[in-house]
Structure 1
């Protein structure tokens, strides 16, 4: 295999470290777990051999997420939106328009979100030792506290190895490598912050929106992430295939069936299956309107109202462009837009609200994340109706979101106030809604 070179892809002011290896014409993006260090991978013989074997089947693109390994740290850990951008950034750097994603552990949650939001760029999805809910990893606060105690007192010693690869706990060389990997993957403070952010992960509500061929692999007695987490993924992702292998290790490159994991991925990706159609995508929908617009227009007259409306539309379109939103429709003073990340949609809504408030008018906004239908360039489906109904429950100057949106912005720094449960007109069940707090 060719010499492995670490390169950097630029995203705004952040550099993402990545490597490409293997000679196949099938592209596979390797999405790592909670920490990684792509140079250090090659120092461990078991992992190096395993990666080379993976590269014998595919052209592998692997990277360190920002805030970990060789990638930049910008003072705060990225949320899910930004981490999805990491995937897209390294794919763009290599000119890869469409690839299969291989997500391990926490990287599986990220890969799943990316596949749901970007089916046009996802050939297939493979998940190993992955989960939809953080409780599949740490079921209780006490269990997570045990990891935090280790981070405070032993990070870099390698003593956490039994938590991830118990069959290797007596291998001194592997333990030394693991200790070095801990230190290179992230500092103690960064790792604790990362785990606090990960503790908010719950992508259960969007699993039904994954519309690419999916293989879920889990070891039956994985000591780190319960196999129940893998089974949940396979049950909720449409037409996903679930493969449960014997073994107790969480790290895929060691222990029982380590080579079979690669064999199964190779069989899955080189078999005869048809790429999924992309008429359905996961998106965050944003609805906005001006509060009491009819009364205001009557008070100030048509000409002045037209000037205010034109100014308002200019502001909204400028902010949509800044936050990569797609304007779908506008009717009078209202806008309907979609985003590929919920945190970005919230920040856009806040920016619009804050700017238009200086014009003496008040707006309100509603957001929901769900599966949308793409029909002739138009966006429809139940998610759109929910987003519209959420906005109609919003008070003046309020940004109101569904619980799905709240659950997907772990690590974004956003905070919320629980507004309670609401019956949304024409929508089954009661929906819990949250106000975006203004202190962010």
Structure 2
């Protein structure tokens, strides 16, 4: 996969399809491989899909110091600039959805439409879930329902074998987690002007679905 220098890091990225740019921002620790193949391929039938690894994840550079999610949004905006894209739809999930909120607030002229998946505003208006269990629990049990795991054991084992070597580790994971812990857009969401779609799983244990209700209430016109 190609890499491109943005600020102080080299970002690993992948592009599929043609059409309006759609930037996908992944969550805590995970790399672009964790989007799987089916979703990007389906989206690439309609959009120019841009996948990338956040700093401290996948094959993007490790950061030399602590940072915020706003800085990670700056990485995403810088990637678009480096690719010659003036504007894009942005779809972020989990921590990636938090980064996408900062993107919407700080780079409104670069944003077409905003999609926030299984994420939250942080701060006092959010309801924490089982995030800490990502460090000491069974990742599959947090990401998938028991019946799905039972029906897809072989595929999920192969998926983890492919993706886990590229997950954040050590200092990189701590830096990402610290950035996410400082996230708070509770009093800023009313300033988001992009058309916004909020989606979640009604049985999500990591980021409780009530958080999506909060986002929808606070972002003007969100659905």
TM over 0.5: yes
The CA distance in 2 between the partners of 1:168 and 1:200, in whole Å, is 33
Between Structure 1 and Structure 2, the one with more strand by share is 1
Matched, 1:28 2:22: yes
The CA distance in 1 between the partners of 2:165 and 2:12, in whole Å, is 17
**SS class of match (1:107):** helix
**SS class of match (2:37):** helix
Q: Where does 1:270-349 land on structure 2 (aligned, <5 Å)?
A: none
The CA distance in 1 between the partners of 2:215 and 2:25, in whole Å, is 17
Structure 2 equivalent of residue 138 of structure 1? 128
**SS class of match (1:9):** strand
The CA distance in 2 between the partners of 1:163 and 1:132, in whole Å, is 20
Structure 2 equivalent of residue 195 of structure 1? 177
**SS class of match (1:198):** helix
The CA distance in 2 between the partners of 1:220 and 1:8, in whole Å, is 36
How many matched pairs? Answer: 219
Q: Where does 1:88-107 land on structure 2 (aligned, <5 Å)?
A: 88-107=77-96
Indicate if the aligned counterparts of 2:70 and 2:103 stay in contact, CA closer than 8 A: no
Higher relative contact order (Cα pairs below 8 Å, separated by 6+ residues): 2
Structure 2 equivalent of residue 162 of structure 1? 141
- 1:81 Cα deviation after fit: 3.0
- 1:70 Cα deviation after fit: 0.9
RMSD across aligned C-alpha pairs, in angstroms? 2.2
Indicate if the aligned counterparts of 2:11 and 2:52 stay in contact, CA closer than 8 A: yes
Indicate if the aligned counterparts of 2:68 and 2:180 stay in contact, CA closer than 8 A: no
- 1:134 Cα deviation after fit: 6.7
Matched, 1:237 2:219: yes
Indicate if the aligned counterparts of 1:218 and 1:227 stay in contact, CA closer than 8 A: yes
- 1:15 Cα deviation after fit: 0.5
**Which of 131, 136, 141 is matched with 1:149 structurally?**
136
- 1:215 Cα deviation after fit: 0.9
Structure 2 equivalent of residue 174 of structure 1? 156
Q: Where does 1:357-436 land on structure 2 (aligned, <5 Å)?
A: none
The normalised TM-score by structure 2 is: 0.88
The CA distance in 2 between the partners of 1:68 and 1:134, in whole Å, is 24
**Which of 140, 143, 168 is matched with 1:186 structurally?**
168
Structure 2 equivalent of residue 9 of structure 1? 4
The normalised TM-score by structure 1 is: 0.46
